[in-house]
């Protein structure tokens, strides 16, 4: 199913790009800082994300992007006086479908507001069994970005909309737990 969704997205993207004359390519890498909303004592964990955005439009942009990243949180959890420690580290394939509005829209300087859904597919869980992690996690992200010449900087916050853990596995962590992520990324735009 994941492959069909990805194939559909790529085909639709190809069809849309053929009709656009103002398309920009934005490869970028970044740092992520994530923390769970529930599930015991959690610590913010730094990790990474890398991928590619396409920008369609001039002042108002449709910005689809495909990324690979790692998100997670260090968890200390006590259940009936048994203490658990986890390095909740999840590798994900991420599809972002954002809208950006350029508040400043000069040729060598652009500043924008960005918002839209971010869909994460779990590829691998490094400490917690993958059966305990939801296969599909949704976020809403919002942020700001600036382009200076060919360089781009973005600061975004992804707010978890769906739970990270599911009820199917042997989970000892609270099921009603979402992940929130702060993302700082740098890249090129051409």
Tens of pLDDT, residues 128-180:
777 778 889 999 999 999 999 999 999 999 999 998 877 765 555 556 788 89
Contacts of 59 (CB under 8 A, 6+ apart): 101, 102, 105
According to the model, what pLDDT value does residue 93 have?
Answer: 97
Measured over the CA atoms of residue 37, residue 41, residue 43 and residue 45, the dihedral's sign is negative
Q: For the residues of 82-97, what is the DSSP string, one character each?
A: EEEEEEEEEEEEEEEE
Token pair 């999840």 is at which residue?
90
Please give the Cα distance from 113 to 3 (Å, whole number).
Answer: 31
Domains of the chain: 22-188 (2.40.160.20)
Count of CA atoms in the C-beta half-sphere (13 A) of 105: 10
Beta-bridge partners for 34: 45, 181
**Residues of the chain below pLDDT 70:** 1-21, 39-41, 75-87, 127, 168-175
According to the model, what pLDDT value does residue 14 have?
Answer: 55
Q: How far does the chain reach from its first CA to its final CA, in angstroms? A: 33
According to the model, what pLDDT value does residue 45 have?
Answer: 84
């Amino acid at each position: 199913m994941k492959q069909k969704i990805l194939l559909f997205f790529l085909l639709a993207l190809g069809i849309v790009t053929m009709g656009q004359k103002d398309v920009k390519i934005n490869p970028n890498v970044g740092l992520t800082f994530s923390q769970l909303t529930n599930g015991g004592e959690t610590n913010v964990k730094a990790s990474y994300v890398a991928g590619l955005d396409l920008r369609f439009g001039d002042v108002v942009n449709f910005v689809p992007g495909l990324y690979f990243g790692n998100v997670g949180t260090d968890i200390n959890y006590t259940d009936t006086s048994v203490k658990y420690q986890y390095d909740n580290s999840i590798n994900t394939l991420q599809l972002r479908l954002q809208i950006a509005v350029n508040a400043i829209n000069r040729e060598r300087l652009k500043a924008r507001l960005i918002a839209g859904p971010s869909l994460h597919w779990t590829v691998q869980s490094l400490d917690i069994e993958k059966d305990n992690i939801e296969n599909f996690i949704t976020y809403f992200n919002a942020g700001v970005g600036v382009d200076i010449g060919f360089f781009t900087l973005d600061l975004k916050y992804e707010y978890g909309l769906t739970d990270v853990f599911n009820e199917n596995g042997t989970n000892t962590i609270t099921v009603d737990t979402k992940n929130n992520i702060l993302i700082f990324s740098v890249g090129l735009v051409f």
